[in-house]
Chains A and B, each alone.
Chain A
Amino acid sequence: MSGAGFVGAVIAFFASIGRMLLGILAAIGRVTLFTLRTITRALAPPYYPGAFFRQVAEIGWFSLPVVGLTAIFTGAALAQQTFTAGSRFNAQSTVPAIVVLGIVRELGPVLVGLMVAGRVSSAMAAELGTMRVTEQLDAMTTLRTDPYRYLIAPRLFASLLSLPVLVFVANAIGIFGGYMISVYKLGFNASGYLAVTRNFLQAQDFMMALVKAAVFGFFIALMGCYHGFRTAGGAAGVGRATTNAVVSSFVLILLSNLVITVIAFG
């Protein structure tokens, strides 16, 4: 390769990195503007309480079965894993403590977040994306109804408030799953198990779970609405928006989980 050719290749390499970084910064800027626009418009009337409660039912109530199943199986599996691993160094008695801390601090919020993201974020992106490509969003604007107030704000606030409730329920069910397998399969004393669970669970753990849940709920709805709102290119575009919504929700949930955990315990 000639000297000029080598220099050109190096420049092209750094240019591609620069383009990627600029693309990421532009995306962050767009999401930030979208968020600010939604919040500022949601604060001014008209308000849509009916749309908000429908979304609470859709996001919260209808997610309960999948969240409950995920929590009970995970709590039970965690108890069995902890018991098996602990038996190698005589630490079987740590099962109730590890189950309660593992579920409340980490597995409850993260698994609920991921399950709801898979169910809700994709549905929001598909619905809003279809509305975009079929001109329903334009029609709404011409009928003097702001889609940010009517469609986005109810979803965002319903998700923000529903996720903590879902995580609270999931934590209780997850602990119950661990209790069931510990008492009825692993031979733990029921009252002793519950006493250890109560002793190890602190208000700080509980608060952190709720904070994580609220943050995850915000990101789930934000990604679903943002990608749905920006859909272009017909049915294929709706498919891309749905995929992008789920993937970006997952990434943001896992990233924000790490950040909150490090801030709380770092």
Chain B
Amino acid sequence: MAAPKILIEDLAKKFGDNLVLDGVNLAIEPGESLAIIGQSGSGKSVTLKCILGLLRPDRGSIRIDGEEIVGARPGDMARLRARFGMLFQGSALFDSLPVWRNVTFGLTQGRSRDGARMRRIAEENLERVGLERQILNLRPSELSGGMQKRVALARAIAPKPEIIFFDEPTTGLDPIRADVINDLIVSLTEDVGVTALTITHDMASARKIAHRVAMLYEGRIIWRGPRDRLYDSGNPYVDQFVQGRAEGPIR
């Protein structure tokens, strides 16, 4: 059996007195798509930021293809990040740059070079997320929220990463556009073989894009299983969450 692409062991992170992660354990296989669900503030984004090296965990280990990233040197971390793509919840597009430079930022690292080729790459990636070349020269502030999200997705996939992290990929999109994004994530994992880790509150999206689903509650993974078991998990916390009930063990 192949080693996990991402292996998280006993991950803990505290902000002041607030213990956000309290021993998270998770393994994601190569080419697998895993969705993490959980309440707002349950530590889903913190988990992602620890994997991306944006936050340093207080305890635990994160391995990418067996290589430890907790405490990795900046040069090693930069090399690992070349294999990552990330879609931020609020898009996080650079306001000062036009769309085409946003999309190709991961390839140019902000330098103005090879403009014609970069515009072509931007155009191809925008097309993959259902956007047209007319927006290439627009600034992010001139786009709707949904378009910004898709530009951010184009930016995440443009460097052809092996692992992509999605933080609420369908939030702010209409149901049709959300499904376009879901299809794209499915195609990335099924056809290209990308490993995907998604944080979402959108149960329809989780069921469509993920092979497996894990639920984070009070800093721990309390359930994990195949997507088909999501509505039949036998876990009262998962049942309450996926059915959106106010009554139940989650307060």
- Within the complex, the shortest CB–CB distance from B161 to chain A, in Å, comes to 10
Partner of A136, one of B82, B86, B95: B95
Q: Besides A46-B111, A139-B92, A140-B94, 19 other CB < 8 A contacts? A: A46-B109, A130-B95, A135-B92, A136-B94, A136-B95, A138-B49, A138-B52, A138-B92, A139-B88, A141-B52, A141-B81, A142-B52, A142-B81, A142-B84, A143-B109, A143-B155, A144-B78, A144-B81, A145-B110
In the complex, whether B93 has a CB less than 8 A from a CB of chain A is yes
**Residue interface bits A116-151, CB-to-B below 8 A is 1, else 0:** 000000000000001100111011111111000010
Complex Cα distance, B85 from A144, in Å, reads 10
Q: Is B116 an interface residue (CB 8 A)?
A: no
Distance in Å: Cβ of B89 to nearest Cβ of chain A: 8
Contact with A along B80-108 (1 / 0, CB 8 A): 01101010111011110000000001100
Instruction: Bin chain B's interface residue count.
Output: 20 to 34
A138 to B50, CA, bound (A): 12
A143 touches B105 (CB 8 A): yes
Residues of B within 8 A of A143 (CB): 81, 105-106, 109, 155, 159
Which A residues are in CB contact (< 8 Å) with B159? 143
How distant is A216 from chain B, measured CB to nearest CB, in Å? 26
Interface pair B92/A134, CB less than 8 Å apart: yes
- Return chain B residues, CB-CB under 8 Å to A208: none
Cα of A196 to Cα of B88 in the assembled complex, Å: 64
**Complex alpha-carbon distance, A148 and B73, angstroms:** 16
Chain A: interface size category: 10 to 19
Q: For the complex formed, measure the closest distance between the CB of A68 and the CB atoms of chain B, giving whole angstroms.
A: 27
The answer to whether B78 and A142 touch across the interface, beta carbons within 8 angstroms, is no
Closest to A150 in B: B110
Decide: B111 and A144 in contact? CB cutoff 8 A. Answer: no
How many inter-chain contacts with C-beta < 8 Å in the A-B complex? 58
Q: Determine the chain B residues whose CB is within 8 A of the CB of A139 once the complex forms.
A: 86, 88, 92-94
What are the residues of chain B within 8 A of A51 when measuring CB–CB?
110
**Footprint of B on A, CB under 8 Å?**
46, 48, 50-51, 130-131, 134-136, 138-145, 150
Asked whether B109 lies within 8 Å of A142 as measured between CB atoms, the reply is no
CA distance A134 to B152 in the complex (A): 13
Contact B88 A135 (CB under 8 A): yes
Chain B residues 31 to 90 lying within 8 A of chain A, measured CB to CB, are: 49, 52-54, 78, 81-82, 84, 86, 88-90
Q: Known contacts A144-B78, A144-B81, A144-B82; is A138 also within 8 Å of B109 by CB?
A: no
Assess whether B112 is interfacial by the CB under 8 Å rule: yes
Q: Which of A141, A143, A145 gathers most chain B CB within 10 Å?
A: A143
In the bound assembly, the distance between CA atoms of A153 and B198 in angstroms comes to 34
Chain B residues positioned under 8 Å from A150 (CB to CB):
109-110
**What are 9 inter-chain pairs, A to B, with CB distance below 8 A?**
A48-B110, A50-B112, A51-B110, A130-B95, A140-B94, A140-B105, A142-B81, A144-B78, A145-B109
Of B54, B93, B106, B110, which is within 8 A of A138 by CB?
B54
CA distance A145 to B81 in the complex (A): 10
Closest to B78 in A: A144
Asked if B92 contacts A145 (CB within 8 A), the reply is: no
Contact A134 B90 (CB under 8 A): yes
Q: How far, in angstroms, from A141 to B54 measured CA to CA in the complex?
A: 8
Interchain nearest-CB distance for A23 vs B (Å): 16
Sorted nearest first, the 10 A-B pairs with minimum C-beta distance are A139-B92, A135-B92, A143-B106, A145-B109, A142-B86, A135-B88, A150-B110, A145-B110, A136-B92, A143-B105
Residue with the greatest number of chain A CB neighbours at <10 A, chosen from B54, B92, B95? B92
B105: min CB distance to chain A, Å: 5
A51 to B112, CA, bound (A): 10
**With a CB–CB cut-off of 8 A, which chain A residues contact B81?**
141-144
Contact of A135 among B90, B109, B112 (CB under 8 A): B90
Bound complex: CA A142 to CA B88 (Å): 10
Q: In chain B between 135 and 179, which residues have their CB closer than 8 angstroms to a CB of chain A?
A: 155, 159
Most buried by B among A131, A135, A139: A139
- B97-135 Cβ-contact flags toward A at 8 Å (1 or 0): 000000001100111100000000000000000000000
Contacts of A46 on B, CB cut-off 8 Å? 109, 111
Q: How far is the CB of B53 from chain A (nearest CB, A)?
A: 8
Contact of A145 among B54, B90, B105 (CB under 8 A): B105
Q: Given that A48-B111, A138-B49, A139-B86 are contacting pairs, would A144 and B106 also be in contact in the complex, using a CB cutoff of 8 Å?
A: yes
Across the interface, name the chain A residue whose C-beta is closest to B108: A145
How many angstroms between the C-alpha atoms of A139 and B91 in the bound complex? 9
In whole angstroms, how far apart are the Cα atoms of A161 and B92 in the complex?
Answer: 31
**Chain A residues whose CB sits within 8 angstroms of the CB of B106 once the complex forms:** 143-144
User: Is the pair A136, B93 in contact by a Cβ cutoff of 8 Å?
Assistant: yes
Beta-carbon nearest neighbor of A147 in chain B: B110
- What residues of chain B lie closer than 8 Å to A140, measured between beta carbons? 94, 105, 110
